[in-house]
Amino acid sequence: MSEVFQPRILAFLCNWCSYAGADLAGVSRFQYPPTIRVLRTMCSGRVDPLFIVEGLRSGFDAVFVYGCHIGDCHYLEGNFHTAKRVEVVRNLLEFSSIGAERAQLRWVSAAEGQEFARSVTELSEVVRGLGPLDRDRFGMQLSALAQTLRAERLRWLLGMERQLTELGNVYNEKVDKRRYEEVLGTAAIEEYQKSLILESLVRGPQSVREIAASCGLPVYTISLRLGDVEKAGKAAFHSYDGNTPRFILSGA
Ligand code: FES
């Protein structure tokens, strides 16, 4: 009989609430599956979105982030940022076909030991249902996601949400929240597509059709994003294969 799959899950726990909640679960003997490896952070806001993708790249099947309930963050706004960042990561994971369920965010207070145990049990079952993360199949996507989450444009937008939507610029102009969400969502997808192209070109010179095939994106989308990548000086024309131009990473 085949063995039951035991997921490997990385869990970031905020020191002030969730970590204490996990401690209470242990002391109270509320049982939960031994699927999570805990990393304690002072605030869930310390969890850079890149940490989630790096967790998946380094062998975990899923990454959970636990923080204080909204309004209870000991650093006031840390978990507001966490909610936004995890949402961006989940959207990108879904877009890349890896699956949004591999990143989860929950709020658990220091008094909620039973809730912590219940939540870990429930989410572990979700991950068990997904099966192991196939890093051979999704290697290129995971590398592109890591590159995306390092992109200056995306990090600037994520860091400036409050300034843009609540505080305003020097002229006291504010961006409508819905408009901000749209801009952020578009930026995340575009940066991911550009990162995928760069990951594909690591293999050597390719035509637009070859890049499109390896990225799993339409030729039209690749043409657009390749133009952006060329303008940024990260890729360049390499040679003609018959009438077909081929492109290469700059400096390769
Ligand atoms: Fe717990 Fe910020 S201190 S989420």
Domain spanning 9-130: CATH 2.160.20: no
Digits of tens for pLDDT over the chain (252 positions)? 567 889 999 999 999 999 999 999 999 999 988 899 999 999 999 999 999 999 999 999 999 999 999 999 999 889 999 999 999 999 999 999 999 999 999 999 999 999 999 999 999 999 999 999 999 999 999 999 999 999 999 999 999 988 899 888 888 899 999 999 999 999 999 999 999 999 999 999 999 999 999 999 999 999 999 999 999 999 999 999 999 999 999 976
The three-state secondary structure class of 64 is: strand
Residue 105 one-letter amino acid:
L
Q: Shortest CA distance to 215 belongs to which of 230, 239, 198?
A: 198
Q: Shortest CA distance to 144 belongs to which of 72, 56, 69?
A: 56
Q: 188 CA to middle of ligand 1, Å?
A: 25
What contacts 89, CB < 8 A, 6 or more positions away? Answer: 49, 52, 53, 103, 149
Q: 83 CA to middle of ligand 1, Å?
A: 11
Domain with CATH 3.40.50 in the chain: 9-130
Q: State the first-to-last Cα distance of the chain, in angstroms, to the nearest integer.
A: 50
What is the overall mean pLDDT for the chain?
95
Confirm if 58 and 97 have CB atoms less than 8 A apart: no
- Phi and psi angles of residue 160, each rounded to the nearest 5 degrees, phi first: -100, 10
Q: Shortest CA distance to 149 belongs to which of 219, 234, 84?
A: 84
Question: CA 68 to CA 56: how far, in whole Å?
Answer: 23
Q: Phi/psi zone of residue 6: left (φ > 0), alpha (ψ -120 to 50 degrees), beta? A: beta
Question: CA 143 to CA 53: how far, in whole Å?
Answer: 9
Instruction: Give the per-residue pLDDT at 172.
Output: 87
Q: Answer whether 7 contacts ligand 1 (Cβ < 6 A).
A: no
Domain with CATH 1.10.10.10 in the chain: 151-249
Instruction: Give the per-residue pLDDT at 1.
Output: 54
Domain 151-249, CATH among 1.10.150.120, 2.60.40.10, 1.10.10.10, 3.90.1200.10: 1.10.10.10
Confirm if 39 and 139 have CB atoms less than 8 A apart: no
Instruction: Give the per-residue pLDDT at 213.
Output: 97
pLDDT tens sequence across 149-178: 999 999 999 999 888 998 888 888 999 999
Strand ranges (E), 84-225: 103-107
Provide the token pair at 11: 């869990």
Residue 220 one-letter amino acid:
Y
Q: Answer whether 211 contacts ligand 1 (Cβ < 6 A).
A: no
pLDDT tens sequence across 15-28: 999 999 999 999 99
Q: Answer whether 74 contacts ligand 1 (Cβ < 6 A).
A: yes
Instruction: Give the per-residue pLDDT at 33.
Output: 87
